[in-house]
Amino acid sequence: MLMKKARWIWYRGDFEIYHHMLLSCRRQEYGCDYPCQWHISRPEVSASFIRDFTAEKDGAVRVVTRSKGMVRFGGKLHPVNTELRVPAGEHRIVVELYDIEKFPSFFIDSDVLVTDETWTAECFDRAPVPVGWKPGFFSAEDDPSVFPFAYEDIKPASAEKIPGGILYDFGKETFGPVTVSIPAGESAALIYGESREEATEPENALVRETLTSSDAPVRPARAFRYIFVMSENAEKVGISARYEYLPIEDKASFSCDRELVNRVWDLCSYTFRLNSREFFLDGIKRDRWVWSGDAYQSYMIARYLHHDPSVTERTIVSLLGKPPYRTHINTINDYSAYLIISVWEHYFATGDEAFLRSVWDRVKELYRFIVSRLDENGFVVRRPGDWIFIDWGVLDKDGPHCAEQILLWQVYRSMARLAGVLGEEDDYSVRADALFGKIHAFFWDREKGAYIDTFASGKRFVSRQTNVFAILFDFAEGLQKDRVIENAILNPDLPQITTPYFKLYELLALCRIGRLETAQDYIESYWGGMLREGATSVWEAYDPTQRGAEHFAMYGSAFGKSLCHAWGSGPILLLSRYCAGVYPTSVGGETFNVEPDPGRYHAFDATIPIGSGTVRVKYSAPTVTVETDVPGGTFVCGDAETPLEPGRSYRFEIR
């Protein structure tokens, strides 16, 4: 019998839930520990793990674990972490563990039995499920409660003596633990800053701490570019740092004839890498929480940049948590919808049915929670504890909001598709069709030629946000789509979208209607503007009218703005999907199109991951060269389509 590679196993989902619990409890502001503002699931305290197996020969088994419990084997009870003799023959082994601090997990590696994905787990009140496991935990010395980050030593680019101490500049935004050595009897304050201004204003800096020689020298991992060591004897305080990161490589690249755009790509790539950790973070400085809306954009970017599903899957599992659901994800109605939509889009991108099955019960529970709170018309409405967010912009939320209903329509469609994959039947499609008609009946304004935010207030207010969703999710069709584009998307008189979060949706909608050049202009003005201000990672928001330290204020705080925010990496998605023009047309990217649009660029060179390989699209006006190492590709130019064979180089002219 060929033995599989041994790995640590646990109850499915516990690894993600445990590390999400830790992450959610690390926020600090102004010297205070800042509790999370929504329910955080906890891993199982106890679990039972079962395996039937055949030993081809006599052997021995040792259950290696840091949890407590016992092993049922051979009709007897045995302690863990001791050797059990296994005679040749058929056996059942049951490992029962509990862990009130972390989560039950264990490891077996022997010549007769290993821990792998063939084990099942149960929590006594539920049916058995396949166990959970993750790459990176393949030896008895590993510890699944410690997330497997990689580390690099980093040194300050400069040290400057200023009044009160020494200011260390590490040259760019980074994240990691800092080690401090303080002479006996001395003390020092560490002020962490994403900007020089923040680090040198201790009273306003969000992250700061005062230490003595008796405190632990290695400090918790934090975001910073600058560290101000405040001490009368600052020159005697030793300081060093390590860059803590997820060892994940970019598979996409893009360069063009506009150098500023190339710098923007690099800026976005670095920003996204910093925020791709246990999960996709909101930003690395302030809350470092996992927000479903922010994560939804990160999933789309990740599919192009590093094309590794692991962070997406961990993030989805962490956000789903454990039912029952009593509030929306992050307390936000739209964020619950994004989460279900994300599961379908992740399946379409990967074709990973095993992952879908592992989360399907929780997805259905979240869906039931969503529909349990609809009104008599079947509309999403605000219930106690809900936050109808959509965007920070000018919106009419006085009643059922159209954007929420479009998201609900997309939830129904996603559930129908997911159920179809798993061979289940339900009324999801019927609900989608019924809601489609109701949205048009209640929210379509013939006179304005667009969707209004809500009918309840009587204002008939038209926002860009609502109509962007109508385009982005293919809700508007035919003549109505044309009118939405004219009267909302391209209407200069409507209030502009000012948040970078929703701006990405708007830019994607513009690209979908053939306005790539508008997005290209915005990349240079908005992201390029941050570069001109000296940004080393993408900020949470950028206002070109602000000057100096004004750029860093947000949420009523002088330095409340994150200077490294995941949603700022949108140009990666825009340039990969719409300029290089690479996108899947079937599940798992088994078929895909290459439909490049250079827009304002006279030349570009892009390598884009798709399916199990990559596509290279190289343009030098008016010729585009396409090469792929995987089958299933089609080059699209207008109405003309050309199949692409792996290993061949194709040349086309586009104008």
Amino acid at position 234, single letter: A
Q: Would you give the DSSP letter of residue 548?
A: G
**Predicted local distance difference test score (pLDDT) of residue 1:** 45
Tally Cβ neighbours within 10 Å of residue 486: 12
Token pair of 619, please? Answer: 């343009």
Q: Phi and psi of 525, rounded to 5°?
A: -80, -40
**Predicted local distance difference test score (pLDDT) of residue 655:** 75
Does the CA dihedral 506-508-513-516 come out positive or negative? positive
Percentage of the chain with pLDDT > 70?
100
First-to-final CA distance of the chain: 60
Residue written as token pair 């925010």: 565
Mean per-residue pLDDT, 371-387: 97
Average pLDDT score over the chain: 97
How many CA atoms within 13 Å lie on the side-chain side of 216? 5
pLDDT tier at 287, thresholds 50, 70, 90: confident
Mean per-residue pLDDT, 119-123: 97
Tally Cβ neighbours within 10 Å of residue 155: 11
Q: Phi and psi of 509, rounded to 5°?
A: -65, -40
CA distance 317 to 614: 28
Are the C-beta atoms of residues 513 and 482 closer than 8 Å to each other? no
CA distance 60 to 112: 7
pLDDT tier at 125, thresholds 50, 70, 90: confident
Beta bridge partners of 218: 179
Domains of the chain plus CATH, in order, are 9-130 (2.60.120.260), 150-245 (2.60.120.260), 333-388+394-493 (1.50.10.10), 582-653 (2.60.420)
Say if residue 548 is exposed, middle or buried (CB neighbours under 10 Å; 0-12, 13-18, 19+).
exposed
**Predicted local distance difference test score (pLDDT) of residue 576:** 98
pTM for this prediction: 0.97
Tell me: the pLDDT tens digits for 443-502? Answer: 999 999 999 999 999 999 999 999 999 999 999 999 999 999 999 999 999 999 999 999
How many CA atoms within 13 Å lie on the side-chain side of 312? 26
Tell me: the pLDDT tens digits for 506-558? Answer: 999 999 999 999 999 999 999 999 999 999 999 999 999 999 999 999 999 99
Strands (E), 385-511: 444-445, 450-451
Token pair of 204, please? Answer: 């306003």
How many CA atoms within 13 Å lie on the side-chain side of 359? 29
CA distance 116 to 127: 19
DSSP element (H, E) containing 395: none
Q: Phi and psi of 52, rounded to 5°?
A: -95, 135
Tell me: the pLDDT tens digits for 45-62? Answer: 999 999 999 999 999 999
Amino acid at position 496, single letter: Q
Which stretches within 135-201 are classed as H helix?
196-199
pLDDT at 3 over 70: no
4 vs 316, which has greater pLDDT?
Answer: 316
Beta bridge partners of 154: 241
CA distance 183 to 237: 7
**Predicted local distance difference test score (pLDDT) of residue 132:** 97
Tell me: the pLDDT tens digits for 101-111? Answer: 999 999 999 99
